[in-house]
Amino acid sequence: MFEELKEYLKNSYSPYSNFKVSSCLVTKNNKKYFGVNVENASYGASICAERVAITKALSEGEKKEDFKEIHILGSTSNTMPCFICRQTFAEFFDENVKIYIYDTEGNYEKYSMNELCPYPFSLGDIL
Ligand SMILES: [Zn+2]
């Protein structure tokens, strides 16, 4: 997985920050959906690698119930997902989905949803 993530870093479109991120959403039947960060001159129009991977999987017909894990590699070590991504995790990941965060050497830490998103905003908050 690390080697694939490293290869995908090359596809990052990050001319403004030069901060590259790749991500891979893996389903329960081990299909992989990769994403990279895509920046924009209008910074708010940028999208993170994690959300590209998730939306790519959804676009291809995957269901959130089939999401198993997500892997994240940044061009700096131990890149943690931003809180917009964590909100997206809360929308599409159940408590069993694991989040793997790599350093630039290929070592990783594994997090649970509860660790990264302990108090998610969800459908129950707007009903
Ligand atoms: Zn993000």
DSSP state of 98: E
Examine the residue annotation and report whether 50 is marked as an active-site residue of this protein.
Answer: yes
Q: Measure Cα distances from 65 to 9, 13, 91 in Å.
A: 27, 30, 11
Structural domain includes residue 127: no
Number of H-type helices and E-type strands within the chain = 4, 5
CA 21 / ligand 1 centre spacing (Å): 10
Residue 82 falls inside a structural domain: yes
Q: What is the CATH number of the domain that holds 50?
A: 3.40.140.10
> Does residue 41 belong to any structural domain of this protein?
yes
Residue ranges near ligand 1 (ion) with Cβ within 5 Å: 48, 82, 85
Checking DSSP bridges between strand 98-102 and strand 67-74, what pairing results, if any?
A: parallel
Task: Output the CA 52–ligand 1 centroid distance in Å.
Answer: 10
Domain presence at residue 124: no
**pLDDT digits 0-9 by tens, 11-54:** 999 999 999 999 999 999 999 999 999 999 999 999 999 999 99
- The model's confidence at residue 122, banded by pLDDT at 50, 70 and 90, is confident
**What secondary structure letter does DSSP report for 96?**
T
Residue 114, in any domain of the structure: yes
- pLDDT, one tens digit per residue, over 73-113 is 999 978 899 999 999 999 999 999 999 999 999 999 999 99
Tens-place pLDDT, residues 83-92: 999 999 999 9
Domain with 95, as residue range(s), is 2-119
Tokens 């990052």 sit on residue: 12
> In the prediction, which pLDDT does 116 show?
94
Q: What is the pTM of this model?
A: 0.95
Q: What is the separation, in whole angstroms, between the first and last Cα of the chain?
A: 39
Q: Which amino acid is at 110?
A: K
Counting the structural domains of the chain, the total is 1
